[in-house]
Chain A
């Protein structure tokens, strides 16, 4: 969660930040909405899924801008990471082969699971077997983030 920027604490962000500002603001608003959304009718785990989702989307947005679209400078990218606009640890995973679409870091923490295995969302769709029901992982609601899918 990026800190709230007040005019008092503002250090001028690097050049090019204006271009992204709208999208970042949109993400911030979505995040606010997700935080304020009622949890009635949701399962215990489900409450945080939306937060994870938006956080993931925002990280992906910045990752894409820097690595795929080459739209932002390294300076600005570092600024965004430093200010927690994107999850640097998650992005670090995305750079690794096999983790290109990783949904969240908890899903690859094998030790947190019963059988010391990664989350169900890491299993490629092809290997899930015949049952067609949608899989939603407990930690972040991911429906599958295997690279091959």
Chain B
């Protein structure tokens, strides 16, 4: 990561003015002594670009510390400062917002700090920015100091004046990449004559906008910017000698910057007096909420953001996140009939798991997803044809049933088999099927063949177009079909199908046929009843005739008068009365 370091030892602003204690000039060649605003002195070797607290001792006297007599332009300590590694005494790590700076020592000053010209051209994204800002507001004192804005110094071209968030200022040489808390004297002189910040920057802004429209494209792409925010009264310098100096390592010079400088030079004189006054006070700038708001507004304007652009975010994202969360559930083939607790360990590793933020919300989404998924599954099941569980059980019996086993034995033997465990068929049903199967298998093949034929004849769902594969369920689940000898079964069915009509009878035909049958049956019944009546009548007739004959015979007999005359009749009557009134035969009259 690029680290963007302030001058090596910028401590709390209060200690800036302390003069460095005198030191014996006994440094090794190449080493320079520097003073941290805290009062520590440290040593820097420009050649090796190392810095250290321990004093490198050498036999020869060391060169004078550079703070003594700086020259304009490149600073005595040439080359970039050792700003990547944590410098001694420096408490600004490279930890803040690194992504906003390019991966070199330092971004060009114009882009980093020129809030006026470059603002809004290359933000990393508003999420990141706002996030930072929020954080900053919460714990301002914990945040390390960082450069906030920068100005070019018109009289001393390679130097830029950089202001940090804490209100400290330092100068940075864009050519030599040197940053100093202590401003070189000649530069300081120029700074003193500079106009105060606001007017200058505002003018700059207008200018820069024009310029950036034309040629700013390149930077836009390549340079993420580190501006946090800018206040109207942003750049103020603590202009006193040797107080606030800082260092930034920069690597690029921006053309726009040059323009800005020229522009600034024009306005320099007007604001001279005012600027000096401001500079002398050296006060730190307080950022108020208003300033921040102003800043944000300005950003939004630049971007063409609407008010709601800032608010919109959460719900939209949540919607997308929920969808991807559900996708994840789909991907992992989560069982919708399961519970959250059971399924959660499987998905917790996935990246999409955190898209929905709270566990409560996740559970809700999970329930929602389950509901939808189950509805889908149900719909699918409804579409599928239901298969009678008997069919599979018949197949199972065909393989395993044997006449040697009674049902309980069979059940015990196969109790682990899924067909036997299947709860769709009641146990009693299974037993009945088993017994049926066994009893049917005992009878001879020809009888079973006849049974099959009977079954086919009785079935009304068949037609000539029925194929062997899609026989109706009513046949498939019948024991007569199952037990029919396999070799000739297909042939028998085919033969039967050939005799049928094209289509199975539809409802109307069926009704008509039934009606006919019913009528025929009624007629038959009626005939039978009539026949019975007739037979009964005939019987009665016969009986009546018989009786008649008998009576006639009696009369005939009575007419026959024997020698005894009428007396004979009387005696005969008496005899008959004694004998229980038995009718005597026609010839009986003549005997006693």
How many B residues face the partner with a CB closer than 8 A? 21
B103 sits at the interface (CB 8 A): no
B336 sits at the interface (CB 8 A): yes
User: In chain B between 328 and 351, which residues have their CB closer than 8 angstroms to a CB of chain A?
Assistant: 335-339, 341-342
Residues of A within 8 A of B40 (CB): none
Residues of B within 8 A of A19 (CB): 337
**Interface of A toward B, CB cutoff 8 Å:** 7-8, 10-13, 17, 19-20, 22-23, 26, 57, 61, 64-65, 68-71
With A69-B370, A71-B374 in contact, is A23–B421 under 8 Å at CB? no
**In the complex, which of the residues B371, B426, B427 contacts A69, with contact meaning CB atoms closer than 8 Å?**
B371
Q: Pick the most buried of B337, B341, B374, B375: most chain A CB atoms within 10 A of its CB.
A: B337
Please report whether the interface of chain A is mostly helix, strand, loop or mixed according to DSSP: helix
**Interface of B toward A, CB cutoff 8 Å:** 335-339, 341-342, 367, 370-371, 374-375, 411, 415, 420-421, 423-427
Q: Is the CB of A12 within 8 A of B411?
A: no
> Residue on B with the closest CB to A9?
B427
Q: Is the CB of A12 within 8 A of B426?
A: yes
Q: Is the CB of A10 within 8 A of B426?
A: yes
Q: Is the CB of A68 within 8 A of B367?
A: yes
**In the complex, which of the residues B335, B374, B375, B427 contacts A8, with contact meaning CB atoms closer than 8 Å?**
B427
Q: Is the CB of A11 within 8 A of B426?
A: yes
A8 to B341, CA, bound (A): 34
A80 to B580, CA, bound (A): 86
A68 to B341, CA, bound (A): 16
Residues of B within 8 A of A61 (CB): 339
Closest chain B CB from A43 CB (angstroms): 25
> Residue on A with the closest CB to B374?
A71
A95 to B487, CA, bound (A): 63
Residues of B within 8 A of A10 (CB): 423, 426-427
Q: Is the CB of B370 within 8 A of A12?
A: no
> Residue on B with the closest CB to A7?
B427
**In the complex, which of the residues B338, B367, B423 contacts A13, with contact meaning CB atoms closer than 8 Å?**
B423
Q: Is the CB of A64 within 8 A of B411?
A: no
> Residue on A with the closest CB to B341?
A57
Residues of A within 8 A of B338 (CB): 22-23
**In the complex, which of the residues B341, B371, B420, B426 contacts A70, with contact meaning CB atoms closer than 8 Å?**
B371
Closest chain A CB from B138 CB (angstroms): 24
> Residue on A with the closest CB to B369?
A69
Residues of A within 8 A of B426 (CB): 10-12
A23 to B375, CA, bound (A): 19
Closest chain A CB from B385 CB (angstroms): 15
Residues of A within 8 A of B367 (CB): 64, 68-69
